[in-house]
Amino acid sequence: MTGAAWHRRTARGAGAGNPPPARLRRAARGAGVVVAELARRLWRYAWPSTTGRRNRMYLRDRLVALPLLAVVAFGTLGWAYADVRDDSEYLRDRLAPALVGLANAKASLFIAQGEAEKNLDGAGAAELGGLSERYRTRVARATQSLNQVTRSGALTVAEEQELRVVSALVVDYTGWIGRAQGHANDAVLRDAELTYARSMLCSAPVSPADRQDRYPPCPPTTGSGATSIVDRVAGLEGQLRERLADRAAWGAGVLTATVVAGLALVLLAAGLWRTVLFLRRRFRIRLSIPLAAAALPLLAVPLLTADALLAQHAQTQTAPLTDSLAERTSPETETIAEERPFDGPDPQAIQVLESRIDETLSDGRLPFLDGIARFVLPVGLVGAGLVGGALHVYRREYLVVARPGAVT
C-alpha 288/C-alpha 269 separation (Å) is: 15
What are the tens digits of pLDDT across the range 321-379?
A: 999 988 888 888 888 877 777 767 788 889 999 999 999 999 989 999 999 999 999 99
**Percent of residues, the chain, with pLDDT higher than 90:** 45
How many C-beta atoms lie closer than 10 Å to residue 158's C-beta?
Answer: 9
Q: Residue 25 — very low, low, confident or very high, per pLDDT cuts 50/70/90? A: confident
Task: Tell me how far apart the alpha carbons of residues 209 and 199 are, in angstroms, rounded to a whole number.
Answer: 17
- pLDDT (tens digit per residue) in 126-150: 455 678 888 999 999 999 999 999 9
Read off the pLDDT band of 167 (50, 70, 90): very high
* The total number of residues written for the chain in this structure: 408
At 238, the amino acid letter reads G
Buried b (16+ CB within 10 A) or exposed e, 250-265: eeeebeebbebbbebb
CA distances from 223 to 17, 103, 389 (A): 51, 20, 63
| CB neighbour burial string for 332-347, b if at least 16 within 10 angstroms, e if fewer | bbbbebeeeeeeeebe
How distant, in Å, are the alpha carbons of 80, 276, 340, 364, 366 from that of 299?
18, 17, 53, 21, 16
Q: What pLDDT shows up at residue 407?
A: 44
- How many CB atoms are closer than 10 A to CB 327? 13
Look at residue 13 and tell me whether its pLDDT is greater than 60. no
Interatomic CA distance for residues 73 and 262, integer angstroms: 7
- For the chain, what are the domain ranges? 52-399
Burial readout 314-326 (b: 16 or more C-beta within 10 A, e: otherwise): bbebbeebbbbbb
Please give the pLDDT value at position 246: 93
Mean predicted lDDT score pLDDT of the chain: 82
What is the pLDDT at residue 256? Answer: 95
224 has pLDDT over 60 = no
Report helix, strand and coil shares of the chain as percent, to nearest 5. 80, 0, 20
Structure-derived torsion over alpha carbons of residues 97, 323, 314, 367, reported in degrees to the nearest 10: 10
pLDDT at 26: 74
Rounded CA-CA distance 294/71 in Å is 12
Each residue of 284-300: pLDDT tens digit?
Answer: 788 889 899 999 999 99
Q: How far apart are CA 387 and CA 391, in angstroms?
A: 6
Can you tell me the mean pLDDT for 247-275? 92
* pLDDT of res. 278: 84
Q: What is the pTM of this model?
A: 0.80
